[in-house]
Chains A and B, each alone.
Chain A
Amino acid sequence: MAVQEIVVYPDPRLKQLCDPANITSEITTNLVTDLIDTMYESGHSVGIAAPQIGICLRVAVVDVSNHKLGKKHNHELMVLINPEIIESSGSKTMREGCMSVPDYTGNVERAREIVVHFTDNEGHDQVVRCKGFEAVAIQHELDHLDGLLFIDRVSNPGTDIFKRK
């Protein structure tokens, strides 16, 4: 499979509630490969969700291990099929940007630590505890599956949205 083009807002596919993915289907397998290829190809991305390449299914991939903020706590490449956050605690604010919302960044407060339940690339059911930047990245990607962008999470437009430097 291949690197796919990133869907950019106001494309309506970014605002849809995604359908659960069929774990055994070839569509899901191919989608996972495309997501991984597209994420690594961008060079600076640490995660991507299916709607960002135009597919409305509940699949995302995250890998913060190459980012300076993710060195300490990471699970390397995580393939998240039908993921669900089952526990979250603490709070952490980061200046988030998104490949689908170019030119802007925003301060978003998210849980510092989460427990995420998902099916991995091999079809195994997984429950994983994540913290710090990896937890933030997962929450950002999972929002995409519910049609939410970081702009939906910004609390104060005056102090929380920034033109990208």
Chain B
Amino acid sequence: MQHFALTIIGRDRPGIVSDTAEIIYKLGCNVADSSNNILGGQFAMILILSHPQITDAAQLTKEFSTLEEQGLSVFVRALKPGGEQRPDLPGELCMISVYGSDKPGIVYQVAKVLSDNNINIVDLNTKLIGTAERPVYVMICETVLPADLTVTSLKALMDTLKQQLQVDISVRTVTPVEL
């Protein structure tokens, strides 16, 4: 079955999910995965969809034209076969929290060190908190470590970064337990 990535974003109001879900349901699409959040004043939806007949992204885009008319931006991307499957990511899970007074480059510098060390980001949220006068930047990141990297080495990398960026960084492992 052809899978698509659908992105919808626009000024938040009640009814965006309902209007989108109605179209998806009436079309006969399956929603395999989705993330839907308010970001600033915008509501952002990203969905992985499949349809038994529709294979063309342009055809699917047309079905969402009523949303465009309401001021939402809609984008559809056709996935290559297997693009809907989450890859198996073995390796230790680590949460990294970065926070400090707001300054340019926090996300870039942290992400660069992670990328240079082949650490995979599987979830990332950033927020600006604090007050207008004293903004505090918070970045919370879930990562999967490569087999050859220990948590101790990651902590050492983050300690160096902490000094350079003058922010606070904490690293903690997540151990999923089966009960």
Contact = CB atoms under 8 A, between A and B. Distances in A.
B75 to A, nearest CB: 21
Contacts of A163: 86
Interface string A88-132: 000000111111000001000000000000000000000000000
Interface in A27-60: 42, 44-47
Contacts of A162: 176
B69 interface: no
Interface of B: 35, 37, 86, 88-91, 93, 123, 125, 144, 174-179
A96 B86 contact: no
Contacts of B179: 45-47, 96-99, 136-137, 140-141, 150
Contacts, number: 53
For chain A, give the interface size range.
20 to 34
Given A163-B86, A165-B90, A165-B144, A158 B177 contact: no
A61 to B, nearest CB: 12
Interface of A: 42, 44-47, 67-69, 94-99, 105, 133, 136-137, 140-141, 150, 158-159, 162-165
A133 B177 contact: yes
Given A158-B37, A165-B144, A95 B178 contact: no
B178 A99 contact: yes
